[in-house]
């Protein structure tokens, strides 16, 4: 139930903000908007206000803003309220508004995550157990929250990073852990569990885990100005890494199997929601950036494809022919549907394999 709610919440916000960008700028430049839909038909809710029908569709995997004169199969009447009647600059602004709103949303959410979530401060001299996973080796051995790990294989440990590296390198091996629980000192062997980690090539590496996190001493809230600066920088690092990943996929340096689809988003939304609001909103930051980048890709039917048509019109001096646009958009639709099928197939494999 939590997974379903988190999935609808995450996608609903991202799609609404994206389509709202198109809608607001279209209205600003005087384009008539026939329909504003959150989700795809069949419609659950539909209400007409003025010239626009506002809808919520049953299929929550996208949305759209239908503007007058936008469909290449429609015969342009020359009405001032049609999309095709506006200048190239105005049409470009309408198209870019959707991805730009996702970009802005990512910045706002990232600032909120840093400001309200704060920065975790950990004890440099002790490894205090935070959460313990329900089905991992740690809980089966009796490790509990607030326990303090003091030694591994008889050697004292204080650094969580060094402990994690040691555990990661020993897959399905027995490690002797010593920890303090209340007034008791306990020593037990714990066999690490194999955990798959995706690699850029599309296959998986395997590391050892026992299933626990480190407990922070406290959380320090930064100033709003500091959170704003760090949030802005963090989002642009994510933007850079997203473009880098797309480039690697296109050039064959990274596997397309790394791309997640609707099932992955749903599954991950639930996992992040269980960890808390900060984790869920950070996941939304990643998705919002990815949605912005995906939409400006030069694929017909996406915003980037429409920008290509406008660029051609700018240099050609006249709009791309209806026939050429129709063929390009049909090809783009086939490509997009193929991509959706492919990523859904990847998602199903992840679920089956338990990744």
By annotation, the residues acting in catalysis are: 19
Residues ≥6 apart with Cβ < 8 Å to 277: 117
Residue 7 near residue 270 (C-beta atoms within 8 A): yes
Paired tokens of 161 = 């990073």
* Cβ atoms < 10 Å from Cβ of 243: 13
DSSP 335: H
How many whole angstroms separate alpha carbon 29 and alpha carbon 96? 14
Closest CA to 246 of 199, 286, 290: 290
DSSP 284-295: HHHHHHHHHHHH
Residues ≥6 apart with Cβ < 8 Å to 287: 10, 14, 265
Cα dihedral 100/104/105/110 (nearest 10): 140
Report which secondary-structure segment, H or E, holds 97. Answer: helix 88-117
Residues ≥6 apart with Cβ < 8 Å to 59: 39, 40, 41
């Amino acid at each position: 139930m939590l997974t379903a709610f988190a999935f609808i919440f995450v996608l609903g916000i991202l799609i609404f903000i994206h389509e709202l960008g198109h809608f607001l700028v279209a209205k600003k430049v005087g384009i008539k908007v026939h329909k504003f839909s959150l989700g795809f038909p069949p419609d659950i809710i539909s209400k007409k206000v003025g010239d626009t029908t506002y809808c919520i569709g049953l299929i929550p995997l996208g949305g759209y803003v239908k503007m007058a004169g936008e469909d290449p199969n429609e015969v342009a009447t020359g009405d001032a309220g049609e999309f095709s009647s506006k200048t190239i600059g105005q049409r470009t602004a309408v198209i870019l508004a959707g991805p730009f709103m996702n970009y802005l949303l990512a910045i706002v959410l990232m600032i909120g995550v840093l400001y309200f979530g704060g920065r975790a401060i950990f004890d440099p001299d002790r490894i205090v157990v935070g959460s313990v996973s329900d089905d991992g080796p740690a809980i089966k051995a009796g490790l509990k929250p607030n326990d303090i790990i003091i030694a591994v294989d008889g050697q004292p440990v204080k650094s969580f990073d060094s402990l994690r590296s040691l555990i990661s390198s020993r897959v399905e091996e027995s490690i002797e852990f010593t920890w303090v629980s209340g007034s008791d000192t306990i020593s037990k062997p714990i066999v690490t569990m194999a955990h798959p980690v995706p690699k850029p090539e599309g296959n998986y590496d395997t590391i050892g885990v026992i299933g626990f996190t480190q407990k922070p001493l406290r959380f320090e809230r930064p100033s709003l100005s500091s959170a704003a600066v760090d949030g802005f920088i963090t989002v642009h690092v994510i933007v850079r890494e997203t473009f880098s990943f797309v480039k690697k996929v296109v050039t064959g340096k990274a596997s397309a199997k790394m791309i997640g689809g609707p099932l992955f988003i749903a599954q991950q939304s639930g996992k992040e929601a269980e960890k808390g609001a900060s984790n869920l909103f950070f996941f939304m930051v990643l998705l919002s950036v990815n949605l912005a980048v995906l939409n400006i890709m030069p694929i017909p039917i996406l915003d980037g494809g429409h920008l290509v048509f406008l660029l051609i019109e700018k240099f050609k001096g006249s709009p791309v022919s209806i026939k050429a646009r129709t063929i390009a958009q049909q090809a783009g639709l086939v490509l997009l549907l193929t991509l959706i099928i492919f990523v859904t197939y990847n998602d199903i494999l992840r679920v089956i394999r338990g990744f």
